[in-house]
A and B are shown apart, each in its own frame.
Chain A
Amino acid sequence: MPDGRLLRNILLFVRLLRDLGLQVDPHRAQLFAQALAQVGVAERSDFYFGARTCLIYRQQDLADFDRAFEAFWRSRFRGGVPLTLPAKPRRRAAQTDPAAGRGPSARIEPEPVQGVGPLAYSAAEALSRKDFAELTAEELEQVRRLIRKTAWRLGEHPGRRQRPGKGRLPDHRRTFRSSLRYGGEPLVWALRQPRPKLRPLVVLADVSGSMEPYSRLLLQFLYGLANGLDQPPEIFVFSTRLTRITRALQSQGAEQALRGVFQEVLDWSGGTRIGEALRQFNLHWARRVLSRGAVVAIISDGLDRGQTELLRSEVTRLQRSCWRLMWLNPLLGSPDYEPLAQGMRAALPFLDDFLPANNLARLEELALQLQDAAARPRRRRGGPHLHAGRFFDLRPGKSA
C-alpha cells in the first residue's frame, strides 16, 4: 500500500476531479491505491495510466483528467524534493510507451501535503481550499496553527565561496599536498566547487483597507516566515507608507508587537498607494536588502489609489534590481478574477510570477515556489510566466 502522504495526495486529487465535474466513486480511489501497490510510483507513465485506468471510466472525461493530472501532480511535486534526502536513482522502464508523449511530463514523487496535521484529512482539505476571507473565527484559529507548521524553505544559488568538491576550479592547496606523496608529481588534481547559499527573500505586504479580510492571516504568515526560515527574510508592510518590520518580527513577543503595528498601519489606510510605497522601497531600501540576488514577493490585491505611471516605473525598476519578482494576489484565487484594476495591469508585464494567495493550499504551493525561485525565467519581460498554465487552468474552488 502507498504510504500516508501519497494516499492523502491521492484523495486530494480525487476530490479535485470531482470538483471539475468528473464522476469518481470513493471505491475507485481505493482501487487506485491498490493499483499503485502493484505498479509503483517510480515511473511516471505507470502512475499516470494507473490513475487513469482506475479513476475514470468515460472517454469524455479524458481531457479534463489529463489537465487535472498535469496541474495537480506537477504543482505538488516540482521542486518539492527536500535537498537533505538523497534522490533515488530511477531507471527508465525497458519498454517505451506509445502514449508517453501525450502523458504528463512531471516526475512522480510522493510529497507531503504540508501542514495537514491532527485534523482529519477531509476537514483539513476543505479548510485549506477555503478563501481566507470566508473563514469563521474557529477555522481561522486552525488555519493559523497550520500556517505556523508549514515548512518554508528558501531556494539556493551557487555562492561565491568554494569548497573541495567536483567543480571546475582547481584546488592548488590540496593538489600540492597530495603531490608530496608522489615526489612532487601532481598526479591527482583536486577540484573545488561553489558552496551553495540561500537566496535572500524580501516580502512587501499590503496592509491597506481592502486587504483587511486577509490581514489577520497575513500577519500570521509573515510571522511564520520570519521565524521559520533558515535565513530570516526582510519584511515590509505598506499602505500609504512603507514600514520595515523585520526587526519587530524577530524580537520576543513579536506577535503582540506586530498586532500593534498592523493596527496602526490599518488605521492610516484610506487606500493603498503602491507606486509610492515601492518608490520608498527603491529609494531607501533596495540598495541595502537586494544586493545579494534576492527574491522579492509583493503581497497585494493591486487595488491602487495612486498614480499608475509611478507604479509602472517603480515596478520596472524593482524587477531590474532583484533576482525574481513575485506578486501574490489574494483576489487571483477567485475564478472570475481578471487583473482589470489599473495598477495591477500596469505592474503585470514586469512581474516574473503572478500567484494567488487566498487560501492555505495556495500558500503551500508558494512554499514550493520559493525553492523553485532560485532559478529565474529566462524571459523576464512581457509578463509573468507562471500564472497561466499552472494556476489559472485549475480552479478547485470553482464548483466547491
Chain B
Amino acid sequence: MGATSTLPLDSIDGLKLALRGQSYLADRGLATALFLALRLARPLFLEGEAGVGKTEVAKALSAALGRRLLRLQCYEGLDIHQAVYEWNYTRQMLHIRLLEARGERAQEQDLFGPAYLLRRPLLEAIDNSDPLPPVLLIDEIDRSDEEFEAYLLEVLSDFQISIPEIGTIRALHPPLVVITSNRTREVHDALKRRCLYHWIEYPTLEREYEILTLRLPGLPDRLARQVTAFVQGLRQLELYKVPGIAETLDWAEALVALNREELEPELVEDTLGALLKVQEDLAALRGDRLRQLLTQVEAGG
C-alpha cells in the first residue's frame, strides 16, 4: 500500500480539504480518483480538454502531501536518455584524462558508476531517498510515441528499471503516478488498463466562480460573476479552441491588472485574446455575437 500515514488524508474529504489548502478546488469525482490512486498505489490517468487543471492537480497534490514532484514533459521522440537516465560523458572523459595524467588507467566499473549517472525523472522516481515516495507527473503522454508508451507500461507494471552497466533498480516504495493526456492521440488501451482513469470536465458555473475567487482574492465579486458567466456562455458556442480554467484565470487577472470593475463590450473585445487563441474564433465572436453574449450575462447576473 502507498505510504500514506499523514492523518488528515484518510478520507476523500480530507484530501479535498488538503488540496483546497493549496488553492486547488477538486470536485468529488477527481478527489475520489486521487484518493484511490493513493490508497491502491495505482497510477492515475487523467484526461480532459486543455486547461482544465490536469497538471495543476499533480502540483497541488505533491504540495498537499508534502512529497516531491517529479515532472516528465512528454514530446514526440522522447527516449530513455531523456526520460530515464544518461551517462555523463564529459565527466567520464575528464576522469580518464585525470587518471592518465597520474599515469593510471581507468577501470570500466568506475566509469559506469553512480557518480557518472545523470538521473532523469523516471529513474529518480523509482530510486531516491525521499522520506515519502514522490509524485511522478507524466505530462501530456499523448505527445510521446508508441515506443515510449510501451516502455512506460513496463516501468509502471513492476516499478523497476534496468541499466545494463549497473543492474536492475527496484522502487522500495512506488511513487504516486499521475499521467495526463489532452487526447491529441488515442493512448493505447494496455497503458490505460494499468491505471485508474478520470475524465476532468469543464467546471460548473458555481465551481468556476469559486475557483476564481479562491485564486484571485483581489477580483471584485461582481466582475468575478460576470467573467464566469461569460466564459460559461463561450463554452456553449462552437469554437475551435474552447477556453479552459487556465484561460479564465488569465483573463480575470488581466482585468484586475487593468483595474476594471465590470465587463464592457470594448473591454472584452480588447482583452479577448486572453481567452480565445484561434484567429477564426476571435473573428467569429467580435461584434454582434459578443454583444449578445454580454447581454445574456447581464440578464443572468
Residues on A facing B (Cβ under 8 Å) = 159-162, 172-173, 175-176, 179-180, 183-184, 186, 197, 279, 282-283, 287-288, 291-292, 313, 317
Stretch at the interface among B100-108, B198-206, B225-233, B261-269: B100-108
Q: Are B238 and A283 in contact (CB under 8 A)?
A: yes
Cβ contacts A to B, 20 pairs, < 8 Å: A160-B76, A160-B77, A161-B145, A161-B147, A172-B89, A173-B81, A176-B89, A176-B93, A180-B108, A183-B105, A184-B93, A184-B97, A186-B93, A197-B145, A282-B240, A287-B183, A287-B184, A292-B76, A317-B240, A317-B280
CB contact under 8 A between A161 and B184, given known A183-B96, A183-B105, A184-B97: no
Q: Please, which residue of chain B has its CB at the minimum distance from the CB of A291?
A: B184
Taking CB atoms, residues of chain B closer than 8 Å to A172 are 87, 89
Q: Please, which residue of chain A has its CB at the minimum distance from the CB of B143?
A: A291
Taking CB atoms, residues of chain A closer than 8 Å to B183 are 287-288
Give bound CA distance, A184 to B240, whole Å: 55
Q: Please, which residue of chain A has its CB at the minimum distance from the CB of B183?
A: A288
> At the interface, yes or no: B160 with Cβ under 8 Å from chain A?
no
Q: Kindly list the 10 A-B residue pairs having the minimum CB-CB distance in the complex, ordered from nearest.
A: A160-B77, A184-B96, A291-B184, A160-B76, A172-B89, A176-B89, A161-B77, A288-B183, A287-B184, A283-B238
> At the interface, yes or no: B22 with Cβ under 8 Å from chain A?
no
Give bound CA distance, A162 to B186, whole Å: 23
Q: Are A173 and B87 in contact (CB under 8 A)?
A: yes
Q: A159-B76, A160-B75, A292-B185 are in contact. List 8 more A-B contacts (CB 8 A).
A: A159-B77, A173-B81, A173-B86, A176-B92, A179-B93, A197-B145, A283-B240, A317-B240
Main secondary structure of the interface of A (DSSP, over half): helix
> At the interface, yes or no: B79 with Cβ under 8 Å from chain A?
yes
Taking CB atoms, residues of chain B closer than 8 Å to A292 are 76, 185
A353 to chain B, nearest CB (A): 24
Residues on B facing A (Cβ under 8 Å) = 75-77, 79, 81, 86-87, 89, 92-93, 96-97, 100, 105-106, 108, 111, 145, 147, 183-186, 238-240, 280
Give bound CA distance, A161 to B149, whole Å: 13
CB contact under 8 A between A288 and B240, given known A160-B76, A161-B79, A162-B79: no
Give bound CA distance, A288 to B75, whole Å: 15
Give bound CA distance, A162 to B76, whole Å: 11
Taking CB atoms, residues of chain B closer than 8 Å to A287 are 183-184
Q: Please, which residue of chain A has its CB at the minimum distance from the CB of B242?
A: A283
A286 to chain B, nearest CB (A): 8
Give bound CA distance, A183 to B184, whole Å: 48
Taking CB atoms, residues of chain B closer than 8 Å to A160 are 75-77, 145
Give bound CA distance, A172 to B81, whole Å: 11
Taking CB atoms, residues of chain B closer than 8 Å to A313 are 280
Q: Are B100 and A183 in contact (CB under 8 A)?
A: yes
Give bound CA distance, A207 to B156, whole Å: 44
Q: Are B100 and A184 in contact (CB under 8 A)?
A: yes
Taking CB atoms, residues of chain A closer than 8 Å to B106 are 184
A311 to chain B, nearest CB (A): 15
Give bound CA distance, A186 to B89, whole Å: 11
Q: Are B184 and A288 in contact (CB under 8 A)?
A: yes
Give bound CA distance, A197 to B240, whole Å: 28
A127 to chain B, nearest CB (A): 38
Give bound CA distance, A197 to B147, whole Å: 12
Give bound CA distance, A36 to B184, whole Å: 53
Give bound CA distance, A159 to B96, whole Å: 35
Q: Are B185 and A291 in contact (CB under 8 A)?
A: yes
Give bound CA distance, A173 to B111, whole Å: 13
Which of A175, A184, A197 has the most chain B CB atoms inside 10 A of its CB? A184
Q: Please, which residue of chain B has its CB at the minimum distance from the CB of A172?
A: B89
Taking CB atoms, residues of chain A closer than 8 Å to B239 are 283
Give bound CA distance, A317 to B185, whole Å: 20
Q: Are B240 and A176 in contact (CB under 8 A)?
A: no
Taking CB atoms, residues of chain A closer than 8 Å to B280 are 313, 317
Q: Please, which residue of chain B has its CB at the minimum distance from the CB of A246?
A: B186
B150 to chain A, nearest CB (A): 12
Taking CB atoms, residues of chain A closer than 8 Å to B186 are 288
Q: Please, which residue of chain B has its CB at the minimum distance from the CB of A290?
A: B184
Give bound CA distance, A159 to B239, whole Å: 31
Q: Please, which residue of chain A has its CB at the minimum distance from the CB of B92?
A: A176
Q: Please, which residue of chain B has its CB at the minimum distance from the CB of A286?
A: B240
A134 to chain B, nearest CB (A): 40
B115 to chain A, nearest CB (A): 15
Taking CB atoms, residues of chain B closer than 8 Å to A173 are 81, 86-87, 89
Q: Please, which residue of chain A has its CB at the minimum distance from the CB of B106?
A: A184
A23 to chain B, nearest CB (A): 57
Taking CB atoms, residues of chain A closer than 8 Å to B145 are 159-161, 197
Give bound CA distance, A180 to B79, whole Å: 24
Give bound CA distance, A389 to B93, whole Å: 59
Give bound CA distance, A283 to B105, whole Å: 64
Taking CB atoms, residues of chain B closer than 8 Å to A180 are 108, 111
Give bound CA distance, A245 to B73, whole Å: 32
